Amino acid sequence: MSEGDAADLQQTALNAVHRHLGARLVPFAGWEMPVQYSGILDEHRAVRERAGLFDLSHMGELFVEGADAGAMLNAALVSDPASLKVGRAQYSMICGPDGGILDDLIVYRLAVDRFLVVANASNAAVVSDALAERIGSFKAVLDDRSLDTSLVAVQGPEAAAILARVTDVDLAALRYYAIAEGTVAGQPALVARTGYTGEDGFEAFVDWARGPDVWAALEEAGRERGLQPCGLGARDTLRLEAGMPLYGNELDRETTPFEAGLGRVVKLEKDGDFVGRDALARAAEAPRKRLVGLRVTGRGIARHGHPLWCDDRRTGIVTSGTQSPTLGYPIAMGYVAPGDAEPGTIVEVEIRDARVGAEVVPLPFYKRPR
Amino acid sequence: MVPTDRRYTKDHEWVRVDGEIATVGITQYAAEQLGDVVFVELPDVGRALSQHATFGVVESVKAVSDLYAPIAGEVRATNGELGKAPELVNQDPYEAGWMIRVSVADPGEVDRLLDATAYEQLIAEA
């Protein structure tokens, strides 16, 4: 494990709960996090068929407040948070001046002049610093509450029924990518209908110290419906099946949103300048690579870092791959040359000393039944 | 807990000798550490393995792990069931989850591996 000694790792407020549940804890982005409890496949199926409970308290919660909060975020991010209605959210990214992705984010509009930006744990400090710098002369303040916030998610087809038992938020009225203030287990909470699993689900932001109470109440509320605690292992296989990118795998500073297939997030036409605009306007016209979905047809599992070949020409690299628990065959995401990105293109994955057949397929791999 | 009818390596393979043939697999401890096994890659029958050589790969959802030959020998059989049901490695690592059978080139190599008591001590300290 190269991410530091256990002694250097931060622990979420739920650390003792995870230990009590018998979780396997691993270093992740400077945090000691549960990678699995009962097993990745078991947890994965629980989320697809019933519901899973996740501790995501390692993620970054950055509140931006002030008369210019919307305008400031429009200038700092590639999307247009200023156009959000109060109570709604959007997927966004923060890029460098060269158009490279610093992180992918969800931005929630909590009030006309108040936003919540949720960043990946691995980038929380980078995003916090970048936002602080990009405030400039805007009338806005940044309040980094990453270490004051516990984040607990319930994901899966039973998530709404489970959460409804312990919240006063009207979940039927809470749309996908919306957020509302209320209580969970009697604790003040922000409840959002967002997630990273491809299922319906919710994320509850509460005070750091309230994390264990909220977790316990949800565990109890979900007992009869088969709710299971889920670790980062299942989170990764779930998001991969849903075709969602992971920073550090599909996204990094050498990649633009257009190359990652997320050009729709970039609002080049919005009012005012924003960091990365010129570079992104050029990048929109000339992607150097394209993110694709891959179905491995030969024997083997494509993994992060495996080279991709097309007609004996090196075309790219696998960014994420696993055996799909839902589909029962190996799936992967990876970058290929722009000309090799059409679904149906036959490529080869270099797995150890062999080349194994694979086909470019549309993303996502899995769409939940509605 | 650990079967006493076989020997073990520090890499968590087991080897059980029946006459001139040795059966090789991974231990329950190894299977638990890997998590849900979803793919096992095994060598072709007839391949000559030297001791400690990589003879295959076992993959769980999250991890990829090499398999090392506990002893030298020629591969006589591989467990074809693992192609259809790699989960046998988790469910029954000491019997149905076996991986390869090799001819024993040097019985002395087997004797120098860990016995069940020594292996139990190894995983207790891990």
* Complex prediction ipTM: 0.87
Q: Which two tokens stand for residue B42?
A: 């095994």
> Token match 């940044």: residue?
A142
CA distance readout (Å), A232 to A49, A239, B64: 18, 10, 17
**Cβ–Cβ below 8 Å for A352 and B62:** no
A307 and A237, same structural domain? no
Strand partners, A314: A309
pTM, rounded to two decimals: 0.94
- Backbone phi, psi, residue A282, to 5°: -70, -40
What tens digit of pLDDT does each residue of A288-310 get? 999 999 999 999 999 999 999 99
Among the candidates A212, A241, A270, a domain finishes at A241
Q: How far is B36 from chain A (nearest CA, A)?
A: 7
CA distance A139 to A245: 33
Total of domains in chain A: 2
For residue A172, give its domain range: 6-58+148-241
Structural domain contains residue B1? no
A322 and A173, same structural domain? no
Structural domain contains residue A72? no
Structural domain contains residue B106? yes
Please state whether beta strands B54-60 and B37-41 pair in parallel, antiparallel, or not at all (unpaired).
antiparallel
| Mutation for testing the A interface, residue in B40, B61, B87 having most A CBs under 10 Å | B61
Structural domain contains residue A19? yes
Query: What residues of A are in contact with residue B62 (Cβ under 8 Å)?
Result: 35, 40, 233, 236, 322
- Backbone phi, psi, residue A107, to 5°: -110, 125
**Cβ–Cβ below 8 Å for B39 and A300:** yes
Predicted confidence band of residue A96 (pLDDT cuts 50, 70, 90)? very high
Which of A40, A300, A330 lies nearest to residue B36, judging by beta carbons? A40
Structural domain contains residue A207? yes
Could you tell me what percent of chain A has a pLDDT over 70?
Answer: 98
Q: How far is B83 from chain A (nearest CA, A)?
A: 9
Structural domain contains residue B72? yes
For residue B34, give its domain range: 7-125
A355 and A233, same structural domain? no
**Cβ–Cβ below 8 Å for A323 and B57:** no
The predicted structure's pLDDT at residue A3: 46
Total of domains in chain B: 1
Q: How far is B112 from chain A (nearest CA, A)?
A: 31
Q: How far is A315 from chain B (nearest CA, A)?
A: 24
Q: Which two tokens stand for residue A250?
A: 């599909």
Please state whether beta strands A51-55 and A227-229 pair in parallel, antiparallel, or not at all (unpaired).
parallel
The Cα angle at residue A129 between residues A194 and A78, in degrees rounded to 5: 55
Lowest-confidence range among A53-57, A226-230, A351-355?
A351-355
Please state whether beta strands A346-351 and A24-28 pair in parallel, antiparallel, or not at all (unpaired).
unpaired
In this structure, what CATH number is given to the domain that contains residue A312?
Answer: 2.40.30.110
Rg for chain A, CA atoms, rounded = 20
Query: What residues of B are in contact with residue A330 (Cβ under 8 Å)?
Result: 39
In this structure, what CATH number is given to the domain that contains residue B56?
Answer: 2.40.50.100
The predicted structure's pLDDT at residue A138: 98
A214 and A350, same structural domain? no
Which of B39, B59, B61 lies nearest to residue A233, judging by beta carbons? B61
Query: What's the DSSP call for residue A23?
Result: P
A316 and A234, same structural domain? no
A173 and A320, same structural domain? no
What tens digit of pLDDT does each residue of A134-173 get? 999 999 999 999 999 999 999 999 999 999 999 999 999 9
Structural domain contains residue B23? yes
Average pLDDT, chain A: 96
A221 and A356, same structural domain? no
Query: What's the DSSP call for residue A85?
Result: P
Predicted confidence band of residue A353 (pLDDT cuts 50, 70, 90)? confident
Predicted confidence band of residue A332 (pLDDT cuts 50, 70, 90)? very high
Interface of B with A (CB under 8 A): 35-36, 38-39, 41, 57, 59-62, 64
Strand partners, B104: none
Query: Taking CA atoms, what residue in B is nearest to A233?
Result: B62
Q: Is A349's pLDDT higher than 60?
A: yes
Q: Is A243's pLDDT higher than 70?
A: yes
**Residues in chain B where the model's pLDDT stays below 50:** none
Structural domain contains residue A230? yes
Q: How far is A181 from chain B (nearest CA, A)?
A: 36
What tens digit of pLDDT does each residue of A217-227 get? 999 999 999 99
CA distance A188 to A174: 17
Query: Taking CA atoms, what residue in B is nearest to A301?
Result: B39
Structural domain contains residue B58? yes
What is the H or E stretch that residue A331 is in? strand A330-336
Q: How far apart are the first and last CA of chain B?
A: 16
Strand partners, A150: A206
The predicted structure's pLDDT at residue A5: 60
Query: Which residues, including other chains, have CB under 8 Å from residue A113's CB and lie 6 or more apart?
Result: A65, A66, A67, A69, A70
Q: Are A344 and A330 in contact (CB under 8 A)?
A: no
Query: What's the DSSP call for residue A84?
Result: P
A236 and A152, same structural domain? yes
A293 and A233, same structural domain? no
Q: Is A6's pLDDT higher than 70?
A: no
Q: How far is A269 from chain B (nearest CA, A)?
A: 41
Structural domain contains residue A25? yes
Structural domain contains residue B2? no
A175 and A47, same structural domain? yes
**Cβ–Cβ below 8 Å for A233 and B64:** no
Strand partners, A205: A151, A190
A296 and A237, same structural domain? no
A229 and A296, same structural domain? no
| A233 in reach of chain B (CB within 8 A) | yes
Helix, strand, coil fractions of chain A, as percent rounded to 5 = 25, 35, 40
Angle between helices A232-241 and A40-49 (to 10 degrees): 50
